[in-house]
Amino acid sequence: MTQSSARDAEMPLQHFESVVIRFAGDSGDGMQITGNQFTHTSAVIGNDLATFPDYPAEIRAPAGTRPGVSGFQVRFSSSDIHTPGDQPDVLVAMNPAALVVNIRDLKPGGIVVVNTGQFADSDLKKASLTSNPLADGTLSGFRVIEIDINKRVTEALKGTTLSSKEVQRCKNFYTLGLMYWLYHRPLETTIKWLEEKFAKRPELAEANKLAMQAGYNAGDIHELFQGRYEVLPCTSMPPGTYRNIMGNDALAMGLVAGAHLAGLQPFLGSYPITPASGILEALASYKNFGVITFQAEDEIAAICSALGAAYAGCLGFTTTSGPGIALKTEAMGLAVSVELPLVIVNVQRGGPSTGLPTKTEQADLLQAIFGRNGEAPIPVIAASTPADAFETAVEACRIAVQYMTPVILLSDGYIANGAEPWMLPRIEDLKPFPVKFVEPNPEGGFLPYARDAKLARPWAKPGTPGLEHRVGGLEKAHLTGNISYDPDNHEFMVRMRQNKVMGIRDSIPTPNVFGDSTGDVLVVGWGSTHGAITSAIEELRKKGRKVGSLHLRHVWPLPKDLDKIMACFRSVLVPEMNLGQMARVLRSEYPQQNIISYPKVQGQPFRTNELVKKIESLLEK
């Protein structure tokens, strides 16, 4: 809903290029489901979209309180978009707490749909409100649609066998129906989902369908809105087959695909932790793909089992978030020492310590690159969007097996739970990188620490005659792998491992610059800042600014020629959700460049307009 079109909103069936809706309610109100359903339907009718679920760390904070508010923002568009939007056009607030927590984000003149059935004095008190925001001017400047959803749902479900508590649980589907009406969306996708979800309790499927239908009809009957809106399918999306995908799911599929392309059985050792658990859950459902999942007793056992499985010839994976990474550190060092392939996934969240478990951050970068005892180089790569997590996971597998090394794959909470349309790769475009294990009884014996051109050592599978050998964390002699305390050998091996990892540079492309390739400001990003950076650059270039951006998938080692690209701009801006960790790396690698850090550490992703402002301030200098 652009500024110019807001004025036309009085008319029936208006077309908008892009709309942002935020569903907000109590954590028990089912806002995540509502948001996901709206997203799914929008995906299926062909919109481009991006989502941002934002929920509390507590499963059920006290009902009706501000800490208990759960939100789901979805942006759907008829043109290419990269972010879930800075400000919602529509806010759906199921209770007073949801209203006050979210209203400050709503676009001026935006629509706010309020469930007045939840605005008794006691509800206001739970939200720590001394006056009613419906009456005290809080909502002036917005278009307020008041509906008693509690009552409407009760009416709609009269005559069903549901208890009144169960009836109230259908409120979110009433809301969903209303939004489907307002934005002219079909109900079929959700009906199908309800029937599958409640296959064993058809009365619940039926009730939710009734509630949704009632919400949909309310749009027509009650003349709540002056018109309906439409966001046409996105025609600028490249031709192909698409599906809507969440980051954790894409990452899990990428790991399975990576193992498949390597010709290996995948083994995941993991321990549940927010926001990474979804990957373990997804992989546990892929047993028919041969995936072994092991829910270990802790993160240490998780990585150790995966490394053991790698020794035995599987492709080892371990998935976790910050606190779990801290526990895995010692075993990562061992993985470096024994030189076995292993993919270590860190879905970053707010830190330090338990920090902000459900919020996003990028503050584990330096830990990933440097955070081990001894000289223990590990390549680090980062996913930039939910769909990109697939390709990045495949790339992590490739590096791991081709270089016989652990690889750290960084994602974050924003990617993990966000969703976007994924243009599915053609199977023939996924290039296999098959692993060759050492053959039985090699002539002249077996040298476990001999090297190939990439400096990778051979992978010998236990069970193969003639290859009996021992590995471990003690320093090894070059070639034989026998324990060695020789000073020169130690330095030789330290440098060997370092050179091997830095040599990965030779197999990675220099990323393309988006936007202008010479100009005033180059924005260098990594990870989930991709969407906001891309949108900001698009916006500034529309205004005629000479700006470009470079997004790093390979964050360690860095690709070649970055200095040449940076040299084409007056300054380099590095926005990241930490206190400037990538900026620090770039400064030490490229001391001659003018690198400006733009940190944000609020557990929230960058907004496009924040970046636009920051870049403009540099342009003015």
Partner 1 sequence: MAEAHALTKKDFKSDQDVRWCPGCGDYAILNCVQGIMAAIGVPKHQICFVSGIGCSSRFPYYMNTFGFHSIHGRAPAFATGIKTANPALSVWMVTGDGDGLSIGGNHMAHILRRNVDVKILLFNNEIYGLTKGQYSPTSPQGLKTKTSPMGSVDRPMDPVSFALGCGATFVARTIDTHQKHMEQVLLAAANHKGAAFVEIYQNCVIFNDGAFDAFTEKSVRDDKTIDLRPGQPMVFGKNHDMGIKIDGWEPVICPAAEAQTWRSDTHSPGPAFVMSQMDSNPQLPRPIGIFRDVQGPVFDTQIHEQIQRARAAKGPGSLEKLIYSGETWTVK
| 151-210 positions binding partner 1, by CB under 8 A | 189
Q: Is 454 exposed, middle or buried (0-12, 13-18, 19+ CB in 10 A)?
A: middle
Closest of 40, 47, 402, 51 to residue 193, by C-alpha: 40
Side-chain-side CA neighbours of 580 within 13 Å: the count stands at 10
| Chosen residue from 39, 138, 213, 305 binding partner 1 by CB under 8 A | 305
Choices 148-156, 397-405, 465-473, 577-585; region in contact with partner 1 by CB under 8 A: 465-473
The CA distance from 141 to 366, in Å, is 45
User: What part of residues 266-285 is at the interface with partner 1 (CB under 8 A)?
Assistant: 267, 269
Residue 114 interacts with partner 1 (CB under 8 A)?
A: no
Choices 91-99, 327-335, 397-405, 550-558; region in contact with partner 1 by CB under 8 A: 327-335
| Chosen residue from 10, 121, 223, 297 binding partner 1 by CB under 8 A | 297
Cβ nearer to partner 1, comparing 489 with 571: 489
Cβ nearer to partner 1, comparing 474 with 579: 474
Residue 353 interacts with partner 1 (CB under 8 A)?
A: no
The CA distance from 461 to 457, in Å, is 13
| Chosen residue from 464, 510, 604, 609 binding partner 1 by CB under 8 A | 464
The CA distance from 498 to 4, in Å, is 57
Cα torsion angle, 426, 258, 250, 605, sign = negative
User: What part of residues 477-516 is at the interface with partner 1 (CB under 8 A)?
Assistant: 482-483
Query: Nearest approach, Cβ of 17 to partner 1 (angstroms)?
Result: 17
Query: Nearest approach, Cβ of 461 to partner 1 (angstroms)?
Result: 8
| Chosen residue from 120, 424, 479, 579 binding partner 1 by CB under 8 A | 424
Phi, psi of 313, rounded to the nearest 5 degrees: 110, 5
Query: Nearest approach, Cβ of 426 to partner 1 (angstroms)?
Result: 9
E-state strands within 56-210: 69-77, 90-93, 111-115, 143-147
Interaction mask 71-100, partner 1, x per CB under 8 A: ------------------------------
Query: Nearest approach, Cβ of 345 to partner 1 (angstroms)?
Result: 17
Query: Nearest approach, Cβ of 251 to partner 1 (angstroms)?
Result: 13
The CA distance from 148 to 618, in Å, is 49
The CA distance from 567 to 573, in Å, is 13
CB-CB contact of 318 with 270 (8 Å): yes
Interaction mask 233-262, partner 1, x per CB under 8 A: -xx-xxxxxxxx--------x--xx--xx-
User: What part of residues 41-70 is at the interface with partner 1 (CB under 8 A)?
Assistant: 43-44, 46
Q: Which residue has the tokens 């972010």?
A: 83
The CA distance from 258 to 54, in Å, is 30
Residue 312 interacts with partner 1 (CB under 8 A)?
A: yes
Query: Nearest approach, Cβ of 257 to partner 1 (angstroms)?
Result: 6
Side-chain-side CA neighbours of 339 within 13 Å: the count stands at 28
| Chosen residue from 309, 343, 380, 383 binding partner 1 by CB under 8 A | 309
Query: Nearest approach, Cβ of 427 to partner 1 (angstroms)?
Result: 5
CA 406 to chain centre: 22
Task: Kindly give the pairing relationship between strand 342-348 and strand 315-320.
Answer: parallel
| Chosen residue from 135, 427, 620, 621 binding partner 1 by CB under 8 A | 427
